[in-house]
Structure 1
Amino acid sequence: MQRLADLAHRSVRRVVGLISGTSADGIDAALVEVSGVGLRAHLRLIAGLTIPFRPSDRDELFRMFDPSTATVDRITAFNFHLGDLFAEAALAVIAQAGVAVADVDLVGSHGQTIWHIPAPDGSTLQIGEPAVIAERTGLPVVADFRVADMAAGGQGAPLASYFDLVVFRHPTLNRAAQNIGGIGNVTYLPARKPDGCGPEDVLAFDTGPGNLVIDAVVAEVTGGQQAFDQDGAIAARGRISNEWLAQLLADPYLHQKPPKTTGREVYGSPFARRLLSEARARRLSADDTVATVSALTADSVVAAYREFLVPRGPLHEVVLSGGGSYNGFLRRRIAAALGIPVRTSEDLGINGKLKEAMMIALLASDAVAGVPTNVPAATGARGPRVLGKFVPPPLPH
């Protein structure tokens, strides 16, 4: 374990962050230089890429999401196969950066969540075997970041609240750092002088559906010709069914008080199929269906802010990240409803598509330094916890 002890005392670490999010469309990989630890950490993106899943792998992954097809033998086999794919992504981003593997300190891997139940008896499962990643890359790996928070009574999410706190807090602006990936999640960062807020000030939770439902609907109405709505172009052509939208916004989850988290278990394929069925019953066109479903994502964000953030003080700006930050329809609708600046993480120097991979790199770096990275005020955990499990690399021959 000398390797771990050495890593703990380094002031600068080169870390690969790996994640496949709720949309499950591929593996995001980022090679990040992390200087310092905790709230004083500074991140510099060296290289980043996304490797899409092969159709056969994505099909098998979606079988993992369905309890009727996710048998134990299939889960264990795919756990190892996914570990191979994550290792390939790690090596690919290192090669893209033009650095030697020996010059990288460690890998952080979130894996792929296949099931997440926050309450009443919290449990979660991410696959993508970290021991396989360590064996293939020859690097130490930190993985399984959610379980320590859940063991302490927390929701195990959103993990992004710690990253947002480190990167986006501001001394004079009340900010909402909003990620729109498969699921939407927000971190509220109230202004605090001189350096911004601390963990005890943060409010973070999943706002509701993000791209997950939009993508499923777009794939269906385009006959599989499009996997997502590029820049929100389809939604922009359509007319929103306000009556149906009002019914969708009455979803009990959207009005549940934080801490709260959600995922594919609630807003996955069955939910998307239900919406498509309702749209057909209402005789909505394809464009109108996409517009209304997209408005659900945007308006659920706005409703969450009005119900849970604004009572804490005026909101000065929103910082968007994730795939949804590239959707012009979502950006415009959120900005129009709130009447405040809606920026993207790129405006603040963070690649929106690679934010979550960078987040995992930060969590891994702080884990080897023994720094707690959950945010109990956001997750509901009993206290601060160091997140992640350490897998050592193979012994030298």
Structure 2
Amino acid sequence: MSAITIRLERTKVIAIGLMSGTSHDGVSAAVVELDERSRPPAHMIAFHTFPYTARFRKELLAASADEKIGAAAISTLNFALGREFARAAVEIAKLARVALSRVAFIGSHGHTFFHLPPRRTTRGQLASTMQLGESAVIAAATGVPVVADFRTMDLALGGEGAPLAPLAHLWLFADPKLGRVVQNIGGIGNATYIPPRASLGDPNLIAFDTGPGNAMLDALASRISAGRLRMDRDGRLAARGQVNGPLLARLMQNPYFRRRPPKSTGREEFGPHLLDRIVADARRMKIVDYDLVATVTAFTARSIAEACRRFIFPRGPVNQLIVTGGGAQNPTLMRMIAAELPDVEVITAANVGVDGDALEAVAFAILGYQMLRGRPGNIPTVTGARAPAILGKLTLPPAPNEKLK
């Protein structure tokens, strides 16, 4: 490992973290300073989300939903996403006023195109995962080493390959007195429970996907507005409606919510196919559009609360639920979560000094750092893997960056 490991005498390392989530909005990019002597050990210098063009986002969404997409289309999309990620890395470095020559590495999650963990396979299926966003394209365009493809080793060890952000959550949110749930609400919802005084080996440290996040809400807003809206901005549509109790109760019967962690999910389960069924049920039940948006919003809120009640509260105290991701910007959703969990303080990451929008991009900078240090990036109690593992694969640019010599 010594030939590709960052020099241990370097106390501060500048890295870029990149990721594209299940909302298919664009590439989130963060410039991060990593210094293990500091608390917290990761300090964000700059963050921005570089949106996909409407045409590219439409192509990406269509490809994700097409079960018969061919190899040529997937290969092309992989390189096209690589260009998008490279552009984001170059632009975020400019925004941060950090020369790419000072960047030790880029940690790129890529875009999850397909994810089938072992606990969701059926007879004849093989657990597998695919993240697109070719690392060679990123390395060639930036001249910076790229660590990518983080999920595969955990999956190879029998794990879910997700969630991978809990290590970053531990770095950024651990508290000596408070029990905290870090609840990300991106396209899919995922939670990390950090007990008071938690450390990496704490048996009560747990993380898993809670279920729906914003993906179905975004798609529903687009559908009922004939494409004029990309999301229910500020939860305004949901605020005008009433939650339909019978439909919400039916949605909460999904068996995923009863499965014990480790577990993960995605658009395959809480995406377009489920939304089609929800809309069809709503039409039969004569539910008007505003009420339907309110009900789907409540679906996300209740699934989060139910995950806490079933799997987190038995493990220890929960004083705060810290919401990150796009869901933190939806006041209606935040009010619904608070109503579901009256004994928990429901706040956003900004309330504790962390940029919640940037968190996942920062997480992949941290995971890249762990890989280059020769340290595990997964947490077996979280993913269900048989062992801790170094995650990610290194792609060197044509002229290796001096920081990795």
TM category (shorter chain) comes to: over 0.9
Q: What amino acid is the match of 2:394? A: F
Q: Are 1:27 and 2:20 matched, yes or no?
A: no
Q: What percent of counterpart residues are identical? A: 43
Change over 3 Å in CA distance of 1:299–1:396 after alignment to 2: closer
Structure 1 unaligned regions, length at least 5:
none
d(CA) in 1 for partners of 2:249, 2:346: 24
Matches for 1:168-317 after TM superposition, within 5 Å:
168-192=173-197, 196-201=198-203, 202-317=205-320
Q: What amino acid is the match of 2:93? A: I
Query: Is the partner of 1:75 in helix, strand or coil?
Result: helix
User: Is the CA contact 1:63–1:70 (under 8 Å) kept in the aligned structure 2?
Assistant: no
Q: What amino acid is the match of 1:17? A: G
Q: Are 1:73 and 2:72 matched, yes or no?
A: yes
Report the equivalent of 1:349. 353
| TM-score w.r.t. length of structure 2 | 0.93
Report the equivalent of 2:53. 54
| TM-score w.r.t. length of structure 1 | 0.95
Query: Is the partner of 2:193 in helix, strand or coil?
Result: strand
Shift of residue 278, structure 1, vs aligned partner = 1.3
Q: Are 1:390 and 2:394 matched, yes or no?
A: yes
d(CA) in 1 for partners of 2:246, 2:111: 36
Structure 2 unaligned regions, length at least 5:
none
Shift of residue 69, structure 1, vs aligned partner = 4.0
Matches for 1:1-20 after TM superposition, within 5 Å:
4-7=4-7, 9-20=9-20
User: Is the CA contact 1:8–1:368 (under 8 Å) kept in the aligned structure 2?
Assistant: no
d(CA) in 1 for partners of 2:275, 2:7: 45
d(CA) in 2 for partners of 1:29, 1:199: 29
Query: Is the partner of 1:47 in helix, strand or coil?
Result: strand
d(CA) in 2 for partners of 1:198, 1:6: 22
Residues 141-161 of structure 1 show CA distances to partners (whole Å, capped at 9, x for unaligned) of 000000111111100001111
- Return the match for 2:164 from 147, 151, 159: 159
Matches for 1:18-167 after TM superposition, within 5 Å:
18-36=18-36, 42-119=41-118, 120=121, 121-167=126-172
Shift of residue 313, structure 1, vs aligned partner = 2.7
d(CA) in 1 for partners of 2:66, 2:240: 37
- Return the match for 1:377 from 343, 364, 381: 381
Residues 347-391 of structure 1 show CA distances to partners (whole Å, capped at 9, x for unaligned) of 122111111111111111121111111010010011111111011
Change over 3 Å in CA distance of 1:67–1:233 after alignment to 2: closer
Shift of residue 206, structure 1, vs aligned partner = 0.4
Shift of residue 67, structure 1, vs aligned partner = 4.3
Shift of residue 64, structure 1, vs aligned partner = 2.7
User: Is the CA contact 2:6–2:372 (under 8 Å) kept in the aligned structure 1?
Assistant: no
Residues 2-56 of structure 1 show CA distances to partners (whole Å, capped at 9, x for unaligned) of 872345653211111010001111110000111128x976111111111111122
Report the equivalent of 2:369. 365
Query: Is the partner of 1:266 in helix, strand or coil?
Result: coil
Structure 1 range deviating more: 305-314 or 293-302: 305-314
Q: What amino acid is the match of 2:20? A: S
